Amino acid sequence: MSLPRSLVLLLLLPFTAYSVWVLETVGYIGLLKAHMHPAGIQVFTDLVLMGLLVMVWMWRDARASGRTVWPYLLATLTLGSIGALSYLLLAPQSAKVAASRQPVHG
């Protein structure tokens, strides 16, 4: 998966700032308490499943590309989307993508 780094930053920076604010305001316990009703449990379970799917994808992608994945898996387990977005942000650009961004002379 390849997303423009500017798009990943556009998602990562404000979401990280918002997440820090929420955690400073209510903490992890408050965040979990907010999900302690049937609808909240469904949303929380859905997010956990999506996080697991993303982590499986990261594992396979890292293995195929020779990247170290453990820091991103741990970040995804503890910080959710911030870990996955960081993995995308710090992905090496493929030669094809890098070549397409080179100016054409001639």
Write the pLDDT tens digit of every residue in 12-22.
999 999 999 99
Backbone dihedral region for residue 89 (phi beyond 0: left; psi -120 to 50: alpha; all else: beta): alpha
Beta-carbon contacts of residue 53 (< 8 Å; ≥ 6 apart): none
Is 95 contained in some domain? Answer: no
Is 105 contained in some domain? Answer: no
Count of the separate structural domains present in the chain: 1
pTM (two decimals): 0.77
What is the per-residue pLDDT across 22-74, written as a single tens digit (0 to 9) for each?
Answer: 999 999 899 888 888 999 999 999 999 999 999 999 999 999 999 999 999 99
Is 77 contained in some domain? Answer: yes
- At which residue do the structure tokens 């302690």 appear? 36
